[in-house]
């Protein structure tokens, strides 16, 4: 759909831990709500690797002993969905007021509009992707396990032939104080089934079955293309896709001082606390 030309901030933050990444996303949302920050497209990475749980996902599904053994962080996202192991990936977030035409409307409508930018960017990497409404019901049934990449949901971006579409990019959204925050994960390389090593299963055969489902139903960029793609190249392609598909001028800029204060407070008082991470 046509949009009036607009300028958004393009923000690339240095790799940081899970609580800080989620705090930064919410800080941008709050700054947007108070009018002290512009609509923002952010790209980021995680160090150390981090298991993130969806807003309403039971904390008991994460195996704390195994997380410590692997040296992985744990954080709960402000958005819904199921568990993701953030490593070897490009993560994006979009933060904009609900009246912004590119996120206006209901959750599905805004999701599809943002997906247009993602899909155009993935095409610049040489990927043929799609985002179907009825994929889950027609192909694999409703996803029931704790792993986000175990199966795509309606309208999520997939890659591959029609008889074997695999989830490539998972996203989730929250709306707060009149602002939309959508963030998502693009795995660049590595074994997506590693996440099963840090989740709780009723038995070892159940763990191995989940690993097999992830391998069958999800893909990395390297798998889909048959060659590796760097984080910088992926970020540049997605930025180009957003600019083209959504008629945006993306202006590189840092976090504001206000956002840095908000993020530090949110990390300390929310995302790094057991009260938040074990709320369910």
- Classify 126 in phi/psi space as left (phi over 0), alpha (psi -120 to 50) or beta: left
| DSSP designation for 137 | I
- Please give the sequence-ordered ranges of beta strands (E in DSSP) within the chain, or none if there are none: 6-12, 40-44, 50-53, 73-76, 84-86, 89-97, 129-131, 157-159, 166-176, 179-187, 248-252
| DSSP designation for 139 | I
Which of 148, 174, 243, 255 is flagged as catalytic? 148
Of 166, 181, 188, nearest to 235 by C-alpha is 188
| DSSP designation for 39 | -
Instruction: Look at the block and give the residue holding tokens 């409703």.
Output: 142
d(CA 245, CA 121): 9
**Would you call the peptide bond into 25 cis, given omega within 30 degrees of 0 as the criterion?**
no
Instruction: Look at the block and give the residue holding tokens 């939309």.
Output: 180
148 among known catalytic residues? yes
- Residues that are catalytic: 148
């Amino acid at each position: 759909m046509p949009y009036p030309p607009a300028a958004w901030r393009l923000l690339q933050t240095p790799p940081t831990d899970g609580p800080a990444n989620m705090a930064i996303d919410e800080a941008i949302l709050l700054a947007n709500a108070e009018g002290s920050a512009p609509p923002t497209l952010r790209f980021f990475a995680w160090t150390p690797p981090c298991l993130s749980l969806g807003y309403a996902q039971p904390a008991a599904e994460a195996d704390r002993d195994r997380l410590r053994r692997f040296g992985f962080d744990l954080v709960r996202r402000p958005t819904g969905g199921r568990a993701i192991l953030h490593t070897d990936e490009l993560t994006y977030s979009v933060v904009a007021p609900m009246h912004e035409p590119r996120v206006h409307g209901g959750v599905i409508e805004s999701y599809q509009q943002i997906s247009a930018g993602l899909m155009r960017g993935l095409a610049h990497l040489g990927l043929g992707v799609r985002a179907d409404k009825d994929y889950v019901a027609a192909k694999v049934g409703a996803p029931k396990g704790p792993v986000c990449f175990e199966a795509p949901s309606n309208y999520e971006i997939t890659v591959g032939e029609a008889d074997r579409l695999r989830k490539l990019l998972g996203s989730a959204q929250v709306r707060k104080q009149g602002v939309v925050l959508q963030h998502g994960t693009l795995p660049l390389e590595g074994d997506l089934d590693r996440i099963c090593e840090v989740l709780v299963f009723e038995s070892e055969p159940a763990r191995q079955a989940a690993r097999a489902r992830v391998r069958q139903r999800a893909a990395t960029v390297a798998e889909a293309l048959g060659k590796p793609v760097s984080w910088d190249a992926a970020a540049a392609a997605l930025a180009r896709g957003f600019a083209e598909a959504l008629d945006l001028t993306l202006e590189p800029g840092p976090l504001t001082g206000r956002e840095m204060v908000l993020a530090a407070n949110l990390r300390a008082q929310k995302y790094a606390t057991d009260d938040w991470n074990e709320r369910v």
